[in-house]
Amino acid sequence: MDITYRTDKDILYIAINGRIDASNAATAEEKIFNIKLDNPGKHTVLDADKLEYISSAGLRVILKLRKEEPKLAIINVPSDVYEVFDMTGFTDMITVEKAYQRMSVDGCEFIAKGANGAVYRYDDETIVKIYFSKDALPEIKQERENARKAFVLGVNTAIPYGIVRVNDGYGTVTELLNAVSVTKLIRNDPDNISEAVKYYTDMLKDIHSITVEDGEVPDMKEIALDWVDFISAHIPEHQRKKLRDLIEAVPKQNTLLHGDYHTNNIMIQNGEPLLIDMDTLCMGHPVFELGSMFNAFVGYSELNHQNMIDFFGYSFETAGRFLDMSLKTYLGTDDEKVYQSVLEKAMVIGYTRMLRRAIRRTEDADSPAKIARCKEMLGILLDKVDTLVF
């Protein structure tokens, strides 16, 4: 028997490995309560992922723990151990969650990578998204809820139907029969991207045609104002004031936004686009969506074009052309002045977000160059842009 622990914000995870029976229950109790004493004020969760067996003596230890903590939860419980908890009535007293199915993506086709995870094709019928964070379970549950909301609202989306364990982390399984990403369409024929543009912009217009109720998803305007507060010490006061004034002047809008709308997140199934990766679902004026699009296709790879190859598998030049064509199609214009005006508004949002990200990621070797670039571009744009509304 071995007992380890880790903390995540206000949660204390205590992992029980091996067996707890009459021979070691007293030792287990002492270790668990000492860990709790060393981590006061944290909500305790028992992780039973590697618990092989528990006797009545071990169950009594858990009962003592529950007396101190009425909201105690036990997670990742193997099936045979779960039967013991169920038979003894523990599942009626304590939140006991069964372990998730284990899955390996070794040898699976890599589809795409995003900020939070990587997507693989598991077989002809399913894809698996593996989350980078080992503590991603709350994030996964929120994404599944967002996908459900989007589906009900009329977005053509694929709902993750299962949560799995992959190595020490978590993933989700989604059914996508014979689906191919818009990214792959572009990679297959980078000189002819008009079909990919149509799929991409049709889905974008569908999303932006939907309105949501207050509180149903996060408000991007409030999030963007938080970005300004975060970067305020890194830009001149007059720029900070104008940036905040510009964002505050954007009218409240309950338009549904994806929040991370790029070609890895649109799959084509039987000629129809499907939206995936719903953890960033939000609402607000479309300028916030266009800002994230600028970052995806230009901003994040501006100083290092290899980033585009690594992320999408097509060139920086192709990405720029795709963004130009998509924005013009979305706006319904070939007027270069109109297009450039909207692009500059999106760039204000994009560089604000990138500056915050670069400041936070001080461990990245290229952060100083990114910070300098974002500050330079914000200075230029804020002298030209007087409204973010289009």
Task: Read off the pLDDT of residues 224-248 as tens digits, 9 standing for 90 and up.
Answer: 999 999 999 999 999 999 999 999 9
pLDDT at residue 305, rounded to an integer? 97
Q: Which two tokens stand for residue 24?
A: 């070691």
In terms of Cβ atoms closer than 10 Å to its own Cβ (0-12, 13-18, 19+), residue 67 is exposed
pLDDT at residue 88, rounded to an integer? 93
Low-confidence ranges of the chain (pLDDT < 50): none
Measuring CA to CA, which residue among 166, 165, 145 is closest to residue 157?
A: 145
- Are the C-beta atoms of 385 and 246 separated by less than 8 Å? yes
The span from the CA of 32 to the CA of 30, in Å, is: 6
pLDDT at residue 365, rounded to an integer? 87
CATH of domain 2-99: 3.30.750.24
Domain spans of the chain, in order of start: 2-99, 109-175, 180-382
Can you name the residues that pair with 272 across neighbouring β-strands?
A: 269
> pTM above 0.85?
no
Can you name the residues that pair with 373 across neighbouring β-strands?
A: none
Cα separation values, 99 from 4, 82, 88, 131, Å: 18, 9, 18, 17
pLDDT at residue 178, rounded to an integer? 77
The span from the CA of 266 to the CA of 322, in Å, is: 14
Q: Which two tokens stand for residue 131?
A: 């989350």
- Are the C-beta atoms of 342 and 382 separated by less than 8 Å? no
Q: 53 in helix, strand or coil?
A: strand
pLDDT at residue 28, rounded to an integer? 95
The span from the CA of 308 to the CA of 104, in Å, is: 27
pLDDT at residue 154, rounded to an integer? 92
Question: CB-side exposure of 122: number of CA atoms within 13 Å?
Answer: 19
pLDDT at residue 16, rounded to an integer? 95
- Are the C-beta atoms of 346 and 286 separated by less than 8 Å? no
Rounded to 10°, the helix 336-360/286-297 angle is: 70
Class of domain 109-175: alpha beta
Q: Which two tokens stand for residue 324?
A: 């130009």
Q: 219 in helix, strand or coil?
A: strand
Give the distance, in angstroms, between the CA of residue 99 and the centroid of all CA atoms in the same chain. Answer: 23
Q: 131 in helix, strand or coil?
A: strand
Given CATH 3.90.1200.10, say whether it is the number of domain 180-382.
Answer: yes
Q: 175 in helix, strand or coil?
A: strand
pLDDT at residue 126, rounded to an integer? 86
Question: CB-side exposure of 19: number of CA atoms within 13 Å?
Answer: 7
